[in-house]
Amino acid sequence: MSAGRPAAVHRTIRIALALVAVVVGYAGCGGKDHSSGPSGSGNDLLVALNASQNDGRTVRWPSLPIPVFLNGIARADEVNAWAASTGGAVSFAFVGSPPAAGISFRYGGGEDECGSTVVDYGPDGRIAGADVEVVQSVFRGPQCQRTVVHETGHAIGFLGHTSDGGLMDPDGGNGDITAADITFVQLLYSMAPGTFVGLGERVRVPLGRTGRRSVRIVDPVRR
């Protein structure tokens, strides 16, 4: 301690610095820019890429298996990559027409993206539907990485992107479903929809939305 400076002043400075750290941490996690995202543990991803879109409450399909309409576009093994990698934390049932509540694939989008997914859900955290668009001319090309598997990840609860070099990065990274991705899905589907998991140690800010909610995640081509 420097001479002549009261202990109370030092305590005040330490408290002020701690508050600044909390505020900076909140600002870094609460944004809506999906061009990049966090890396870290499955729990970190659960908060940042899922619950933060629903006032701190989990967003997931309310029951399994999840109906999926492949529409002659996706393959069952691509969708089932998530069931296999997570040890059955999620499962899928393939249907012959677009389900009232399920995942549906179709062609759409522009040449600058591999695909996009719109996820509809309620404030109770129950996903009501997921509409996946892929760009026919490019989604299986070298400029896109495992597009169907990536978009299925969004459809089951990744409401944003990671930045750890794996499949759920914006451009699909190295194409691998990472250990953090697996933990994220296992955690998410071990909890009831709408479970409050909070925003870490940060102040919870209500989003002020009521009724049905929707998020669209766009996945660009590699540059």
Q: What tens digit of pLDDT does each residue of 61-93 get?
A: 999 999 999 999 999 999 999 999 999 999 999
Q: Is the pLDDT of residue 13 over 70?
A: no
Higher pLDDT, 219 or 199: 219
What's the distance, CA 108 to chain centroid? 21
3-class secondary structure, 43: helix
Write the single-letter amino acid at 181: D
Backbone angles phi, psi at 189, to 5 degrees: -90, 5
Q: Is the pLDDT of residue 122 over 70?
A: yes
CA torsion angle for 137, 148, 181, 60 (degrees, to 10)?
120
CB 170 within 8 A of CB 220: yes
C-alpha 161/C-alpha 153 separation (Å) is 10
HSE toward the beta carbon, residue 9, CA cutoff 13 A: 6
Lowest-confidence region among 12-26, 29-43, 75-89: 12-26
CB 133 within 8 A of CB 108: yes
Q: pLDDT at position 211, please? A: 76
What's the distance, CA 195 to chain centroid? 16
- N-terminal to C-terminal alpha carbon distance within the chain: 53
CB 32 within 8 A of CB 211: no
Lowest-confidence region among 24-33, 89-98, 107-116: 24-33
Q: Which band of pLDDT confidence, cut at 50, 70 and 90, is reported for residue 1? A: very low
Lowest-confidence region among 5-14, 90-99, 190-199: 5-14
Q: What tens digit of pLDDT does each residue of 146-205 get?
A: 999 999 999 999 999 999 999 999 999 999 999 999 999 999 999 999 999 986 544 444
Q: pLDDT at position 212, please? A: 84
CB 28 within 8 A of CB 200: no
* Domains, in order of start, for the chain: 31-220 (3.40.390.10)
Residue in 29, 39, 31, 32 with CA at minimum distance from that of residue 184 = 39
CB 70 within 8 A of CB 211: no
Q: What tens digit of pLDDT does each residue of 108-119 get?
A: 978 799 999 999
3-class secondary structure, 104: strand
